[in-house]
Homo-oligomer: A and B are copies of this chain.
Amino acid sequence: MIAEKMKSMVANSSAIRAMFEEGNRLAGIYGAENVYDFSLGNPNVPAPPAVKDSIIEILKESDPVALHGYTNSNSGYADVRQTVAESLNARFGTAFHLENIVMTVGAAGGLNVILKTLLNPGDEVITFAPYFGEYRAYVSNYDGVLVEISPNTVDFQPKLDEFEQKITKKTKAVIVNTPNNPTGVVYSEDTIRRLAGILKEKQREYGTQIYLISDEPYRELAYDGVEVPYLTRYYDNTIIGYSYSKSLSLPGERIGYLVIPDEAADSEEVRGAANVATRILGFVNAPTLQQKVVAKCIDESTDLSFYDRNREALYNGLIECGFECIKPQGAFYLFVKSPVEDEREFCQAAKKYNILMVPGRSFACPGYVRLAYCVSHEMILRSLPRFQELSREYF
């Protein structure tokens, strides 16, 4: 009895579910400490203590009717939006004001809001493989067509030649995700400048507006002092989708925001429609207590050294085994080349050693596997001898 459109989504989802259940099954047999589950992007760093302190403070100082009530605007509390705008301005030299900010139910909620706001059926949305597979569902929710740029497996920067060729009159938006899930690669400033240049030229050529949607849940997770360019500074029609899931380790609380700058085409109309989309999609408003929390914790950050230590240990360990992998500059994923063409075989072989990884085809990039290193450091250390054994099957 379910909708036709849901059927493929459900089938796809069952694969993820099966992996999760496989982890539980293996843990039941071998003990949880002997299973190396690298399949999930659930942060393992606790929220900073300021989160807990803030919640208690907010509860003490707020009138519960106001604290837990609907916000006056579906876009969120004015003071919270202003705090977010000012924090971005201080960090990135932007000039946002509260009206540019729409508080959202995480980045996933924000992406749905902006796609609902913008897409007519048949509109094209371009993204660069490898990409987070949910984009396909989000675009399909509004009857858009996801157009994929094939992966550049040399350095996983986007293939801009192919991008230029695939932009059409129907291109309404482009989604980028940097630092990237699943590669951990940060798109360089040079990449961003060229990408912006192509978009500007194509807008002129077709007389259209093309929105660049930057999905930034991993913005704060960048290592070795690498800069993650702030895209509104390179291209006017940029919309940012942000989440506190990783930066404050609050993924379950569903809190993030959209930035719709004044410079974006029809900015006021888009902001107004995003406000309405927030309501009619059923979000209504981002959870109110968590809005107040992120404003209070605006200068807090997660313990990056935790992930960095994992990154070094797992990357070095895998390279020593003979595996090939780009050293990630951000996020908490390694994207490893499968030693056999069909990476599903590789995933299957890894299971013999109780190692769980996600096949690259889930990210439109077969021949690779994703390992999420947002796990305990001890698990990584324990897993390395098992990766050694696995590598001996190939090298």
Which residues from chain A sit less than 8 Å from chain B, CB to CB?
A: 1-6, 9-10, 13-14, 20, 42-47, 51-52, 55-56, 59, 63-65, 67-72, 105-106, 108-113, 116-120, 134, 137-138, 141-143, 209, 211, 249-254, 265-266, 269-270, 272-273, 275-277, 279-290
Contacts of A51 in B (CB 8 A): 64, 68
Report the Cα distance A143→B140, complex, angstroms. 13
Instruction: Jot down 17 A-B pairs with beta carbons below 8 A, ordered by A.
Output: A1-B269, A2-B117, A3-B116, A3-B120, A5-B120, A9-B276, A46-B64, A46-B65, A55-B59, A64-B249, A70-B251, A70-B252, A105-B254, A110-B282, A253-B287, A281-B282, A289-B290
Contact of A282 (CB < 8 Å), options: B43, B105, B120, B209: B105
Contact of A279 (CB < 8 Å), options: B13, B120, B249: B13
Number of copies: 2
Report the Cα distance A264→B289, complex, angstroms. 35
Question: A69 near B55 (CB under 8 angstroms)?
Answer: no
Closest CB pairs A-B (n = 9): A252-B288, A112-B282, A137-B280, A108-B282, A109-B282, A46-B64, A2-B273, A1-B266, A13-B276
Query: Interface of chain A, helix or strand or loop or mixed?
Result: helix
Residue in chain B with minimal CB distance to A284: B108
Question: A46 near B20 (CB under 8 angstroms)?
Answer: no
Contacts of A288 in B (CB 8 A): 252-253
Question: B10 near A276 (CB under 8 angstroms)?
Answer: yes
Contacts of A112 in B (CB 8 A): 281-282
Contact of A254 (CB < 8 Å), options: B13, B141, B285: B285
Known A-B contacts A65-B249, A70-B42; A55 and B55 likewise in contact (beta carbons under 8 Å): yes
Residue in chain B with minimal CB distance to A60: B52
Residue in chain B with minimal CB distance to A266: B1
Closest CB-CB distance, A350 to chain B, in whole Å? Answer: 22
Question: A138 near B282 (CB under 8 angstroms)?
Answer: yes
Report the Cα distance A209→B2, complex, angstroms. 11
Known A-B contacts A1-B269, A276-B13; A47 and B72 likewise in contact (beta carbons under 8 Å): no
Report the Cα distance A289→B58, complex, angstroms. 15
